[in-house]
């Protein structure tokens, strides 16, 4: 397993990490993702650790806390050998303060996560989404307090816009508080908007990227293609995919799957493995969060590392997935000497 430095921090993380949204199946939405219980979760954790995947990503809202509870059981006796990433912000429980990034909510959620995970500390604590109501000073100071207390090692954000992240970093710098070292983002061959602003920001400010839904909610898993009937079961068909079907046009999607199938044939790898390997060669990417309903899926995803696509193969996939950019990016790209793109090759 390859390890990379997480942003501007000193933390080394594996290029593949394991996502636990499939643990529990505690409500209707997450049942569509999976219903892994403690015994199978323990086997999956052990398989990951044997492969060098020592980072496990979860969140308070995954199955209403059940995913954290199951992960806590699965890592019993192994805490010193692994890293845990969890998140807060979205609605949890009842009451007027049941969501957001206020001091009240974050302290309550952090304590709850620690209890469910059966641990004294969280390695990477994410703001799951941006709270445009709570003053950012309150949020960042609370996170800094959690780091100072030893309950959190590093802080990160997820699903932020460029100005959300940059303002957060500026506040950290202004007051000397801990700063976000990572940004958990959606990024895949199907949707490359991350490259337009968030990737250049990550390069400039040394913010590493954790990638969620690297297979576009399962659409790049090899079951979908130009001449393949769409599956009638699974998250996508049930409307429970985190990536809406409208996120990409049908023709662009088929252009991508055509190119993926060609490259898969050239490499002897699966479409999913090629999709993951393409991401591993992109700037700022520290770790890709993979999920699995069972051991076989996990083993297949683990085979996305240990080899690399050629530059020509990466360029073929880039060309197939390229789409017109929106303003102001098309205007900025009229002069690339002033606004250079990230270096991909």
Which residues are marked as active site?
Answer: 62
Helices (H) and strands (E) in the chain, counts: 12, 10
Cβ within 8 Å of residue 169, ≥6 positions away: 179, 180, 205, 207
> What whole-number distance in Å separates Cα of residue 278 and Cα of residue 295?
23
Local structure of 185: helix, strand or coil = strand
Q: How far apart are CA 63 and CA 212, in angstroms?
A: 17
Tokens read off for 338: 């002033």
Question: Helix H segments across the chain?
Answer: 28-31, 38-50, 66-74, 103-117, 136-149, 162-175, 198-205, 250-267, 271-280, 295-302, 311-321, 329-332
Cβ neighbours for 105, distance < 8 A, ≥ 6 positions apart: 88, 89, 97, 98, 99
Beta-carbon count within 10 A of 299 CB: 12
Asked whether the beta carbons of 286 and 211 are under 8 A apart, the reply is: no
Peptide bond into 80 cis (omega under 30): no
């Amino acid at each position: 397993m390859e390890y990379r430095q997480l942003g501007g921090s000193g933390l080394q993380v594996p290029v593949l990490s394991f996502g636990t949204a499939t643990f529990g199946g505690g409500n209707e939405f997450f049942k569509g993702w999976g219903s892994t219980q403690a015994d199978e979760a323990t086997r999956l954790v052990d398989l990951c650790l044997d492969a060098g995947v020592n980072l496990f990503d979860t969140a308070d809202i995954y199955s209403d806390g059940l995913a954290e509870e199951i992960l806590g059981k699965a890592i019993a006796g192994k805490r010193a050998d692994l890293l845990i990433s969890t998140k807060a912000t979205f609605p949890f429980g009842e009451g007027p303060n049941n969501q957001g990034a206020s001091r009240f909510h974050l302290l309550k959620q952090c304590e709850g996560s620690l209890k469910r995970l059966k641990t004294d500390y969280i390695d990477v604590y994410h703001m799951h989404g941006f709270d445009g109501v709570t003053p950012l000073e309150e949020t960042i100071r609370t996170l800094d307090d959690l780091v100072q207390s030893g309950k959190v090692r590093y802080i990160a954000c997820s699903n932020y816009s460029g100005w959300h992240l940059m303002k957060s970093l500026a506040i950290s710098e202004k007051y000397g508080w801990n700063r976000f070292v990572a940004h958990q983002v959606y990024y895949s061959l199907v949707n490359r908007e991350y490259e337009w602003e968030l990737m250049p920001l990550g390069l400039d400010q040394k913010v590493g990227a954790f990638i969620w839904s690297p297979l576009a909610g399962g659409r790049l898993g090899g079951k979908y293609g130009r001449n393949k009937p769409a599956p009638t079961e699974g998250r996508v068909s049930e409307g429970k995919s985190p990536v809406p079907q409208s996120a990409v046009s049908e023709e662009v999607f088929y252009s991508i799957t055509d190119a993926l199938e060609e490259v898969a044939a050239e490499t002897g790898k699966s479409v999913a493995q090629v999709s993951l390997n393409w991401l591993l060669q992109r700037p700022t990417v520290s770790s890709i969060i993979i999920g699995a309903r069972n051991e076989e899926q996990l083993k297949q995803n683990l085979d996305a590392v240990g080899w690399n696509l050629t530059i020509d193969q990466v360029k073929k996939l880039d060309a197939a997935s390229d789409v017109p950019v929106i303003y102001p990016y098309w205007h900025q790209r009229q002069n690339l000497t002033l606004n250079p793109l990230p270096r991909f090759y």
